[in-house]
Structure 1
Amino acid sequence: MDPLLDFTGKVAVITGAAQGFGKLLSQELAKRGAKLVISDINEAGVHQVADDIAATGAEVVAMKCDVSKDESCKAMVDTALEYFGRVDIGVNNAGIAHEFMPLHIIDESIMDHQFAINVKGVQFGMRHQIAQMLKQGEGAILNVSSMAGLGGAARGSAYSMAKHAVIGLTKTGAVEYGRDNIRINAICPFFTLTPMVTNFADEEKQKKMARGAPMNRLGEPKEIVAVMLMMLSPSNTYMTGQCIAVDGGVSAF
């Protein structure tokens, strides 16, 4: 196997793994030799993903995790230690969107929900992943932000606020823990054909969304996960504090 894509023996914890990026990344890491602890608020869904991965011969443990609860994120790391003895990779992927609406009608309940999952969920994950990686002397963390975290997102202000915060956490963590050999990066996708998009945008809406990208289409999950694999690669040892846009050219404007 190409060393760039060889994750043999690496232990990864991944949130939001019942669908979308989390599910596909779990499958791809398993193919490349990683041992996995995967979680989701959708317990039945994440156990089905784990069963499918285990059927290939890979080592995987599934569990329910509410990332808005610190103790739930700690339990993921504790589970990885119980089964595999370490945590090499942390992927803080779980997140939610909200309905498109103008900024002036976004109320506190929407903001609170966004921050509970999209911001606290990342910080709680990082907090316990980093604590273990400090003991090991190494590790790699990948947070899932968004193009809405790099710029404005019309009619998506609460989501944009939260995803900007993820970038702040990523950059701050990279600065604090670079000397400890812990790499912390974020990926920032444009609209991609995951359930987060397809469940609320019909084909006509998707076409309108695609017009915002020079490539005039939405992303495919496999295109985002390919970059996630590169960012997490054990051979990619000097990249940290980066927030990488995978956006069909949107950021070129």
Structure 2
Amino acid sequence: MRRALCLLFLLSAMPPVEAKLKTRIFHRRSGGFSVRRRLFTSPLITDPGNVDLEFSGAFDTNSSYTLPATLKYTPDQWRTEFSAGVDSIASVVDDTSGRTTHFSDHVNLAATTAFRAGDNFTWAIAPTAAVFLRGESGSRLGGALYGRYDRGSNTFSGGTSWNAATRSSATNPAGTLDLNAGYGRKMRRFTAYTNVQWERSTGVDAFYSLFEGVEYELNDRFAIDLSGAHYGIRSGTIDNQIVLGLTCTLYKRR
């Protein structure tokens, strides 16, 4: 537990390099890896009494990249998981200003409560918040709803989330809604999955995104994940991304 708290402190204390991103797409996408794990490769919440760290690297085909990290903790005997996430590094290549690299301009917070309905269906609800550290004022507040149906080696899942800006701007839309649906299949230590997402923000046309990936469980403490992401399908400009992730249980209840 002490190691987990020290790691979160270090991530929060890293000095930012003042730079402005051309768009705010990274803060909307940095939580995507964690959401896909909930829907396909892990329980909807961290096991009670455990502390988990999810660290990933998302690399765009235009050489931009971001390194999001999420720390999750579920108190013993609880069914609510508390999580905090940041982009430990965000580096964006812009045609006019070149590459800009800085520490996260926001912190993602969530409290996810899971419920079971029968032997095969689980669902969870989570109030969420994205607190801006610089570049924007205020925060984004909202919520998410997830559901999973597990049958043998097959997993069918879906989710929706909505969030709104306390103070909107040209780069911080007033509201954003997304819907997710997908399928996963476990094969011993491997889990393959695919899902599609529909997203709509205020003042922006709706678009679809497609994700596919595979996770390999090394043991009961470590898992690695490799996935592809294709944002903006049917929008005229597709943003392709490769995501490599690591999930580590820092503290495991005895």
TM-score by length of 1: 0.36
Greater RCO, 1 or 2 (C-alpha within 8 Å, sep 6+): 1
- Higher-helix-fraction structure: 1
TM-score by length of 2: 0.36
